[in-house]
Amino acid sequence: MKCIRVNASRQYNIEIQHGALAIAGEETLKATHAIGKTLIVSDENVFPLYGETVAESLRATGYGVHTFVFKGGEDTKSIKTYEAIIAALSENRFTRSDVLVALGGGIVGDVGGFAAATYQRGIKLVQLPTTLLADVDSSVGGKTAVNLPTGKNQLGCFYQPSLVLCDTDALNTLPEAEYKNGCGEIIKYAVLAGGELFSMIENADIRTQYADVIARCVTIKRDIVGEDEFDTGRRRLLNLGHTFGHAIEKCSGYSIPHGAAVGIGLAMMCRAAHKRGYCASDVPEKVEKLLAKYGMSDAADFTAQELYNAALSDKKIAGGSVSLVIPEKIGCCHVLTVSCGDMLGWLKDGGAR
């Protein structure tokens, strides 16, 4: 087992191992130090695969088990789903000594985490990610949210879990699209960190080294979150590829999933930064080559104006300016604040028509 300790407003472990879901009960008890009720929040794709394994482990440890299973998909990461989870907690008389267990990908973790953060001002939360993207990124760091019609993650808060338990066996059932989705975030981390992580995924397939790649990504995020938990400084680097990526998601009606959109957004940012003299000439080529290795696109068929209009709802906009994460070279990025009006030119320089 690989264990990474996070030191934030709540200290917790990220545990990575084969067969972790089968010991979810005992690990939850170790992390929360309380036996009570649990609500497993999951979606219709994940729960049939792993729900009973987790429920059985929780029951064997002494927990009462309730379940909330929803359809899943970006359109269900909504206030309506959030309200339904809150109703399930309330109707079953959950208290602050009980636990919400988020079993699934990033959408389950985000909406389930937001419910845990806000029900009775916060109940215990355990994240059981089952997708590569959730393993390496969304389950770690305490960001929880739901979407609004105006954009992604517009309603949410920071709330650290008591435990993140990553079962690498769950990745064996990932559809190809979900695998690529996770690769988008991993490539982002590789560009941020450079060095060994970039070499690892450039020279061998991520599938052959899941535990090591997950551990390296979450260690990078752990270190950044420990320094800037509430996203006011260095943590903004984790938004590499996200400003353009979120706009791509929105323009596609979320048919382009998050990780794939981040990959495209990253490639666009590298091209624009190179064209404007901020980054080395080999950076766009290296990023495009790595995306191609994992069968991912580096462009989307939306106009610069369409993407610009969508990006105006981004959370990183403040006072008429937006923070862009600029790659100078592989392993070295910085945050650049530009006016919102300049963003249209950046999109065009990134390849948008």
Tell me, yes or no, whether 21 and 164 share the same domain: yes
Token pair, residue 35, equals: 């036996």
215 in a structural domain: no
Tell me, yes or no, whether 237 and 159 share the same domain: no
What contacts 127, CB < 8 A, 6 or more positions away?
Answer: 102, 109, 113, 134, 139, 140, 161, 163, 164, 165
| pLDDT mean over 160-171 | 98
* pLDDT of the residue at 318: 74
Bridge partners, residue 153, by sequence: none
Tell me, yes or no, whether 156 and 91 share the same domain: yes
Q: What is the CATH number of the domain that holds 136?
A: 3.40.50.1970
In the chain, the amino acid numbered 176 is E
Token pair, residue 277, equals: 């003299």
160 in a structural domain: yes
What contacts 175, CB < 8 A, 6 or more positions away?
Answer: none
* pLDDT of the residue at 331: 97
Tell me, yes or no, whether 244 and 160 share the same domain: no
pTM of the model: 0.94
Q: What is the CATH number of the domain that holds 243?
A: 1.20.1090.10
pLDDT in tens, 119-145: 999 999 999 999 999 999 999 999 999
CA distance 39 to 34: 14
DSSP state string for 97-164: TSEEEEEESHHHHHHHHHHHHHGGG--EEEEEE-SHHIIIIITSS-EEEEEETTEEEEEEEE---SEE
224 in a structural domain: no
Residue 15 pLDDT greater than 90, yes or no: yes
Phi–psi pair at 227, nearest 5 degrees: -85, -30
223 in a structural domain: no
CB 289 within 8 A of CB 308: no
CB 129 within 8 A of CB 164: yes
Residue with tokens 């990461």: 77
Q: How confident is the model at residue 150 (pLDDT cuts 50, 70, 90)?
A: confident
Structural domain of 65: 2-173
CA distance 333 to 279: 9
Tell me, yes or no, whether 159 and 289 share the same domain: no
Residue 151 pLDDT greater than 90, yes or no: no
pLDDT in tens, 172-212: 999 999 999 999 999 999 999 999 999 999 999 999 999 99
Give the total number of structural domains in the chain: 2
Mark residue 144 as left, alpha or beta (left: phi above 0; alpha: psi -120 to 50; beta: remaining). beta
134 in a structural domain: yes
Closest CA to 217 of 167, 242, 183, 263: 183
Tell me, yes or no, whether 10 and 78 share the same domain: yes
Tell me, yes or no, whether 157 and 21 share the same domain: yes
pLDDT in tens, 305-347: 999 999 987 767 777 899 999 999 999 999 999 999 899 999 9
Tell me, yes or no, whether 282 and 160 share the same domain: no
Three-point CA angle 277, 260, 342, nearest 5°: 35
3-state SS, residue 324: strand
Tell me, yes or no, whether 143 and 189 share the same domain: no
213 in a structural domain: no
Tell me, yes or no, whether 309 and 251 share the same domain: yes
Tell me, yes or no, whether 296 and 321 share the same domain: yes
CA distance 49 to 114: 24
| pLDDT mean over 101-107 | 97
CA distance 240 to 229: 17
State the chain's mean pLDDT as an integer: 95
